[in-house]
Amino acid sequence: MSEQAFAAEKERLLQDVRQVLSSTEDLLSTAGDEGGDKARVLRQKIAENLKLAKDRLYDAEQVVVGKAKVAAKATDQYVHDNPWKSIGVAAGVGLLLGLLISRR
């Protein structure tokens, strides 16, 4: 999945969740004013909207986890293919951090 496709998918999922939550808030405000059967129906709709929001958040989580796994595999492969470069980069970063810390 390309970066643009990933960003578009993430934005679509976030927009869907925002819409569901907004709809749920509207239903909650209406449910507070209603009694009897209408209140029961509104509470049922709220429960359905919350389940939908949870499902969409789960989907978003799966996309992020999948992307993180791909990045971890690529990093692991790079380190295995280039161990000395990786050690050099780690040593350089450690040296820079040490210099920054020692200045305090």
Give 18-66 pLDDT, tens digit per residue.
787 777 777 777 766 666 777 778 777 877 877 887 787 788 778 888 8
pLDDT value at position 7?
72
Between these two residues, 62 and 2, which has the higher pLDDT value? 62
DSSP 103: T
Task: Take residue 52 and report the two structure tokens written for it.
Answer: 């939908």
Residues of the chain with pLDDT > 70, as a percent, come to 91
pLDDT value at position 101?
92
Start-to-end C-alpha separation, the chain: 43
pLDDT value at position 19?
81
**34, 42 Cβ separation under 8 angstroms:** yes
**17, 53 Cβ separation under 8 angstroms:** yes
Q: Which domain holds residue 95?
A: 3-102
| Mean of all residue pLDDT scores within the chain | 81
pLDDT value at position 39?
73
Report helix, strand or coil for 36. coil
Give the number of domains in the chain. 1
pLDDT value at position 98?
92
Using alpha carbons, select from 17, 39, 18 the residue that is nearest to residue 28.
39
What type of residue sits at position 32?
G
Q: Residues 72-90: what's their mean pLDDT?
A: 91
- Name every residue whose Cβ is closer than 8 Å to that of residue 53 and which is 6 or more positions away in sequence: 17, 20, 21, 24
**10, 60 Cβ separation under 8 angstroms:** yes
> CA gyration radius for the chain?
24
